[in-house]
Amino acid sequence: MPRYFLQLAYKGAQFHGWQKQKNAGSVQECIEDALSTICRETIEIVGAGRTDTGVHAKEMVAHFDLDKAVGDEDQFIYQLNNIVGAEIAIHSLKKVKEEAHARFDATGRTYHYHLLKSKDPFLKELAYHHYKALDFFNMNKAAEALLGKQDFSSFSRSNTQTKTNLCTIEFARWVEKDDQWVFEIKADRFLRNMVRAIVGTLIEIGEGKRAIEEMKEVIKRMDRSAAGVSAPAHGLYLQKIDYPESIYL
């Protein structure tokens, strides 16, 4: 049975997150309905992860199986894009090995969080405007404490089903880009609400409410109440997902 990786992007403002749920529109449900219509069979997809309500994705990957191989892949993508609507864009379709898995085979994930320097009504659903001045030098110094393999329970939503809260962060930094500050973070895996909780804590450091050194203590506590309030969802983007070349056919 052929398996495919679907690469896509979406604006999260109109969806109640990635994951399919009762009585609420999700990205997963929208794509599954479109695939089922085109393929004339019930299609279920498995995403590389799940994003919360209002969170965006510049790159999401999902896998699905078909009874027979896709013929014209460009035509298939064209048909999908016509059905899924304006808030979702299908970028590519790649055939992979039968055992390839969009979630478990991912070797790295990168998220970006966008902070506006000034209020912009045209970006109100796409970036967060924090009205107080922030010290990004201190925020970057504090972010250094995040690097490496550590238990990030302090930045995780409680009562999740994960077996471990250990993650290895490769980089975490604030970068100035035109009229925005962007927090870039890459890790082998992320916990539920992790990036937004980290950003919220760094914002408190940037405001001077916390000292730079407090970030290490927050991590050591392994307690969500030790960290700051989560930053709003609409500034967060799943930016990139890495896979080994060996899974592709």
Class of residue 244 by CB neighbours under 10 A (exposed 0-12, middle 13-18, buried 19+): exposed
Report the catalytic residues: 52
Q: Is the pLDDT of residue 159 over 80?
A: no
Its CATH class, for the domain covering 108-240, is alpha beta
Predicted confidence band of residue 158 (pLDDT cuts 50, 70, 90): confident
Predicted confidence band of residue 162 (pLDDT cuts 50, 70, 90): confident
User: Any residues with CB less than 8 A from the CB of 159 and at least 6 apart, and which?
Assistant: none
Its CATH class, for the domain covering 3-103, is alpha beta
* 9-26 pLDDT, tens digit each: 999 999 999 998 888 899
Predicted confidence band of residue 97 (pLDDT cuts 50, 70, 90): very high
pLDDT given at position 114: 98
User: Any residues with CB less than 8 A from the CB of 206 and at least 6 apart, and which?
Assistant: 134, 135, 136, 138, 139
Q: What angle do CA 109, 47, 83 make, to 5 degrees?
A: 120
Residues 59 and 211: their CA atoms lie apart, in Å, by 34
Q: What is the DSSP string of 57-68?
A: EEEEEEEEE-SS
Domain boundaries, the chain: 3-103, 108-240
Predicted confidence band of residue 83 (pLDDT cuts 50, 70, 90): very high
**What number of H helices and E strands is found in the chain?**
5, 10
Whether 108-240 and 3-103 are alike in CATH topology: the answer is yes
Predicted confidence band of residue 119 (pLDDT cuts 50, 70, 90): very high
